[in-house]
Amino acid sequence: MQIINTGLLSFGMSGRVFHAPFINLHKRFHLAGAWERSRQVLQETYPLAKSYPTLQAILDDELIDLIVVNTPTYTHYEYAAKALQAGKHVVIEKAITTTTAEAQALKALAIRQGKQIAVYQNRRWDSDFLTVKHVIDSNVLGDLNEVEIHFDRYNLLPSPKQHKETPNPGAGILKDLGPHAIDQALHLIGMPQALFADLRITRRLSAVDDSFDLLLYYPTLRVRLKASYMVKEPIPAYVVHGTKGSFLKPRGDIQEAMLLKGMVPDDANWGREPATTRGMINYDKEGETVREEVSTLNGNYAHFYDGVFDALTHGTPMPVTVDDGINVMRIIEAAIKSSETRQVIAL
């Protein structure tokens, strides 16, 4: 049985919460270790894993097949390039890089090295998004007319993570929460023809963009993506209108909260939302109006690593491809240009 030996480039929140639990439980992966810069705490939870003191040390380990680049966005290009040059496959957290050109350069490097890249867009396996996609794919709403995706929060104070709040090529809400919403939109609908964007700084202490509003233009459809840190009263995270009806779904995925509590994703109830966050559908059925709650599908981030294993061993496409990452960056760069010029940008 082939095992994918995997190393993390950080064991902070993302390594501890979003990667290590799923890698450790997966029968086809082995958590080889992590690069720990200051505090060596990895072995407290994973005694068989190794703590590496430097980037070069983890890249020099010939037993490691896959490197997870889960470091600040502005480091993604440099670290992923070094991992590819060292003969490793890579998983890169969103956003894949800080520019489209960097992402395209990584794709070219991976091809030359004969290695593969996956982008960690875990929100494709959120319970709420899986349910929205299921409803859309069922065609019960008919032809889509309008879709909204919100990633709203309420926090007037800047994050203690300085790489997110200090001006740098990877900072700001558009490159933090933006890739989630953008990737979900592209996964549902595909690339738009054009977009208009409004990026703002709304919090008094913020030094980087902390609110965005993107309007994506499709031939017969409009998709609006919004995120803000100044939304105290939750509104539906997903709003879908079609020729036959509408579907509204609040954000309800509980995986991050479960992982932060130290829970392990190892049972059938993993990722099951409470009934209180079910979505509401209102549609026409045989001339009658039907309005009812929709049961939510379970979320499970483990499916991302299932897909990575299949790609590395059976040649299937990565669950989120490097081209997916490139397209997200194309949207982000067009959004920045649109906000600066106050113009619709063709894609």
For 108-140, letters b (16+ CB in 10 Å) and e give ebbeebebbbbbbbbbbbbbbbbbbbebbeeeb
Kind and range of the H or E run holding 89: strand 89-93
Write down the pLDDT at residue 45.
96
* Percent of the chain clearing pLDDT 90 (strictly above): 91
Q: What's the whole-number mean pLDDT along residues 198-212?
A: 93
Q: How confident is the model at residue 32 (pLDDT cuts 50, 70, 90)?
A: very high
Pairing of strands 144-152, 221-228: parallel
Residue 326 lies in a domain: no
- Same domain? For 103 and 134 the reply is no
Does 325 reside within a domain? Answer: no
Q: Are residues 86 and 132 in the same domain?
A: no
Number of domains in the chain: 2
Share of the chain above pLDDT 70, in %: 100
Within-domain flag for 77: yes
Question: Are the beta carbons of 165 and 206 closer than 8 angstroms?
Answer: yes
- Count CA within 13 A, CB hemisphere, residue 163: 12
The verdict on 270 and 153 lying in the same domain is: yes
Q: What is the mean pLDDT of residues 324-336?
A: 98
Q: Are residues 163 and 100 in the same domain?
A: no
State yes or no: cis peptide before 95, omega within 30 of 0.
yes
DSSP for residue 207: S
Q: How confident is the model at residue 205 (pLDDT cuts 50, 70, 90)?
A: confident
Regarding whether 314 and 188 lie in a shared domain, the answer is no
Residue 192 and residue 208 in one domain: yes
Question: What band does 168 get if pLDDT is binned at 50, 70 and 90?
Answer: confident
pLDDT at residue 1 is higher than 70: no
Residues 193 and 107 grouped into a single domain: no
Evaluate if residue 185 carries a pLDDT over 80. Answer: yes
pLDDT at 237: 98
Q: Name the nearest CA neighbour of 226 among 217, 235, 218, 133.
A: 235
Sheet with 238-242: strands ordered across: 288-294, 279-285, 245-249, 238-242, 144-152, 221-228, 211-218, 194-200, 345-346
Predicted local distance difference test score (pLDDT) of residue 197: 98
Residue of 274, 241, 276, 238 whose CA lies nearest to 152? 238
- Lowest mean pLDDT across 47-61, 202-216, 324-338: 202-216
C-alpha 131/C-alpha 283 separation (Å) is 16
pLDDT value of residue 38: 86
Q: What pLDDT score does 131 carry?
A: 98
Mean pLDDT of the chain: 96
Per-residue pLDDT reduced to its tens digit, 138-157: 999 999 999 999 999 998 88
Residue 278 lies in a domain: yes
CATH number (domain holding residue 291): 3.30.360.10
Same domain, yes or no, for 137 and 259? yes
Say yes or no: 22 and 117 in one domain. Answer: yes
Q: Could you tell me the maximum CA-CA distance found in the chain, to the nearest angstrom? A: 67
State whether 179 and 37 are in the same domain: no
Element (H, E) at 197: strand 194-200
Domain range spanning residue 84?
A: 4-122+303-320
216 belongs to a structural domain: yes
Q: Work out the angle at residue 250's Cα, subtended by the Cα atoms of residues 247 and 255, and round it to the nearest 5 degrees.
A: 125
pLDDT of residue 160: 79
Q: pLDDT tens for residues 218-274?
A: 999 999 999 999 999 989 999 999 999 999 999 999 999 999 999 999 888 899 999
* Region 325-344 average pLDDT: 98
Bigger pLDDT: 38 vs 119: 119
- Give whole-number Cα distances, 333 to 111, 170, 179, 347, in Å: 24, 12, 12, 11
3-state DSSP assignment of residue 203: coil
Separation CA 258–CA 296 (nearest Å): 17
* Pairing, β 245-249 against β 238-242: antiparallel
Q: Which CATH number do you get for residue 80?
A: 3.40.50.720
171: three-class secondary structure by DSSP: coil
- Of 154-158, 166-170, 293-297, the range with the highest mean pLDDT is 293-297
Q: How far apart are the first and last CA of the chain?
A: 45
Whether 209 is covered by a domain: the verdict is yes
Regarding whether 207 and 67 lie in a shared domain, the answer is no
Q: Residues 131, 192: one domain?
A: yes
Task: State mean pLDDT over 284-290.
Answer: 93
Q: What is the pLDDT of residues 114-143, one digit of tens each?
A: 999 999 999 999 999 999 999 999 999 999
